Structure 1
Amino acid sequence: MARTIPLRFPFPQQQRRTSSYGQERRPMFGGSGGGGGAGSAIKIRLLIALAIAAFAFISYYTKPGDKNEVTGETERVAMTEEAEEIQLGVQAAPEMVGMHGGPSRKVAAQQQVQQVGWRILEGLDRQLAEYNKEHPDANRHNPYEKAFQFTLLADPRTVNAFALPGGQVFITEALYRDLETEGQLAGVLAHEIGHVLSRHGNKQMARQGMFQGLAGAIGVLAGSQQGAQMGQMISSAIGMKYGREAEIEADDWAVRLTYQAGYDPRAMEGVMRILEQAGGSGPPEFLSTHPKPANRVAYIEAAIKKYFPDGIPDGLRP
């Protein structure tokens, strides 16, 4: 019988990370006399920019928190009802499927993707049931369980897997054919399931309004098209930071979920090697939503050590 890993939230060193930035360079208002037209214009732009930035921050940070039914954490999300997330994912799915050549016509492969996906969810159910037994007042459950769908896409060139809010999970043929074991497939699907369970897409939509407000404030303060573009770049960089942290958290989910489904979580290291080979040199990690696969191996190894300090049990599927 597989050993059950107790749920402990929040995840260590993940959801509570903060980023430090350099000190803000403030405009210097010098000169003599009562202030010229240029100085007044700068002051007006500064006041408007501060008002926009303040509104963006207040709008985001005063959002009422919503409880995550799986983790028990209170989160800032754009949609507080799981049914809304599910509906959004269902509505967006046809477009995403169409962008990748439609569903794969390889029946056996399509069935394997679906079977492995459901096996992972069954493992999650056992994990939550065990947690609720130890904590009778917790009532943790997976509100997306019946909404999850796993689809192999026909795209033979794009090495990718992704998930939409609410439970629509996809993997392309290009990635599927490079996988060497069923455990690696389980790792990919478990990672995407982790995105759904942590409501990463929903959280990102809530943050996006704040990012856009900050970008607008920078553009107003600069008073030029170049300044507005700089604001958009800064906004994107902030958003990408959140994206990388979400990827690390999803890898943490993958380690636990693959084990609970009977797979060896070390298979995730093989997935990273495959992604590294497929990606080539790629963009710098700072400007990439996903951490580099080589760096993610270190995160995965740390998660394995955290959950299996005495080593991974024998008898798991590779």
Structure 2
Amino acid sequence: MRGSWKIRILIGVLIAGFGLVRYCSSMEENPYTGTTQAISMNPQEEIAIGLANAPQMIEAYGGMHPDQQLQNYIDLVGQKLVQNTVAIQTPYQYDFHLLADPETINAFALPGGQIFITYALYSKLQNEDQLAGVLGHEIGHVIGRHSSERVANSDLWQTVAQGAEVGASAGSVVSQIGMSTLLTNGRGDELESDDLGVRFMIKAGYNPNEMIGVMQILKAAAGPSRAPEFQSTHPDPDNRIEQIKESIRKYGGTVE
């Protein structure tokens, strides 16, 4: 029994070690952001995953909004951001979708360039600059390769958890650590995308201060009962506003 226990520990360590080696070997510098990150997919795989999952996401939010003029407007603003920023240099295929959902205030991006905004959020925006801020933020997620990075992180912790289960039946504890790490990375992703969104707005000729207005809209929509920042995958809007102001100054803008 004692020898069997030692073998299980050894196998568990080897499994966990393999996961760490694979994770470290996947580290690369993002040429568009300068960030060093673990990436488990190439751009073509990201594009394929985004296109494959787009129909499901559209269905989940009540389909596409029926007003084709609004759809064209969303695409026009999105493509203006792409054409005037580093996004045009990337291999991604950018498609912008206005979802029909009138209740859920949300915007998100799938890997490879599929970008979505709900009508509920769009209807609360006050001008084109704010729309550009939302879409620029989502382009930032695509260029930042945040989905691919989360997949790499998930693969790592799943492998470590498997090793822990084999070695000491403690996989649940390790999985919790992994989830905490993923949530922290998620907040970092949001801040990086805010920074990129400001950069893209300035490059495309939009007023970056309107990104602050977007944060105020999100704060008002969440209400006074919004979860504390440490319990959320998103930073608190107040903290995001301060970071956005720093980004505006960093890229040569003036905070109004």
TM (norm. structure 2) is: 0.89
2:228 is aligned to 284
1:134 is aligned to none
Q: Which amino acid aligns with 1:56?
A: G
Q: Is the 8 A contact 1:178 1:274 kept in 2?
A: yes
2:19 to 45, 56, 60: 56
2:238 is aligned to 294
Name the CA distance, whole Å, in 1 between partners of 2:101 and 2:41: 31
More deviation, 231-240/162-171: 231-240
**Could you list the per-position Cα deviations for residues 28-68 of structure 1 after superposition, in whole angstroms to 9, with x for gaps in the alignment?**
xxxxxxxxx6x877755544443332121111112374x64
Name the CA distance, whole Å, in 2 between partners of 1:238 and 1:162: 21
In the alignment, structure 1 residue 107 sits paired with structure 2 residue 68: yes
CA displacement at 1:191 relative to structure 2 = 0.3
Matches for 1:75-114 after TM superposition, within 5 Å: 75-80=37-42, 82-114=43-75
**Could you list the per-position Cα deviations for residues 192-218 of structure 1 after superposition, in whole angstroms to 9, with x for gaps in the alignment?**
001111211112212211021233344
CA displacement at 1:301 relative to structure 2 = 1.0
2:115 to 154, 158, 169: 169
Secondary structure of 1:152 counterpart = strand
Which runs of structure 1 show a deviation greater than 6 angstroms over 4 or more consecutive aligned residues? 39-42
Secondary structure of 2:84 counterpart = helix
Q: Which amino acid aligns with 1:253?
A: L
Matches for 1:1-12 after TM superposition, within 5 Å: none
TM (norm. structure 1) is: 0.73
Q: Which amino acid aligns with 1:208?
A: S
Q: Which stretches in structure 2 are left out of the alignment for 5+ residues?
A: none
In the alignment, structure 1 residue 262 sits paired with structure 2 residue 205: yes
Q: Is the 8 A contact 2:109 2:142 kept in 1?
A: yes
CA displacement at 1:228 relative to structure 2 = 3.5
CA displacement at 1:75 relative to structure 2 = 4.7
Name the CA distance, whole Å, in 1 between partners of 2:220 and 2:167: 44
1:121 is aligned to 82
Name the CA distance, whole Å, in 2 between partners of 1:205 and 1:295: 27
**Could you list the per-position Cα deviations for residues 249-307 of structure 1 after superposition, in whole angstroms to 9, with x for gaps in the alignment?**
11111101011111100111111111111123333322322111111111111111212
1:238 is aligned to 181
Name the CA distance, whole Å, in 2 between partners of 1:173 and 1:43: 58
Count of aligned pairs: 255
Identical aligned residues as a percent: 42
Matches for 1:200-215 after TM superposition, within 5 Å: 200-215=146-161
- Structure ID, larger Rg: 1
**Could you list the per-position Cα deviations for residues 82-138 of structure 1 after superposition, in whole angstroms to 9, with x for gaps in the alignment?**
22221111111001111111100123322221111011112115x98xxxxxxxxxx
Superposed CA RMSD in Å reads 2.5
Change (3 A) 1:73 1:276: closer
More deviation, 253-262/49-58: 49-58
CA displacement at 1:244 relative to structure 2 = 1.1
> In proportion to residue count, which structure has more helix?
2
Change (3 A) 1:143 1:43: same
Q: Which amino acid aligns with 2:73?
A: Q
Q: Is the 8 A contact 1:216 1:231 kept in 2?
A: no
Matches for 1:110-189 after TM superposition, within 5 Å: 110-124=71-85, 141-144=89-92, 147-189=93-135
Change (3 A) 1:95 1:215: same
Secondary structure of 1:102 counterpart = coil
More deviation, 195-204/245-254: 195-204
Name the CA distance, whole Å, in 2 between partners of 1:282 and 1:42: 47
Secondary structure of 1:162 counterpart = strand
Name the CA distance, whole Å, in 2 between partners of 1:53 and 1:279: 40
Q: Is the 8 A contact 1:100 1:154 kept in 2?
A: yes
Name the CA distance, whole Å, in 2 between partners of 1:238 and 1:150: 30
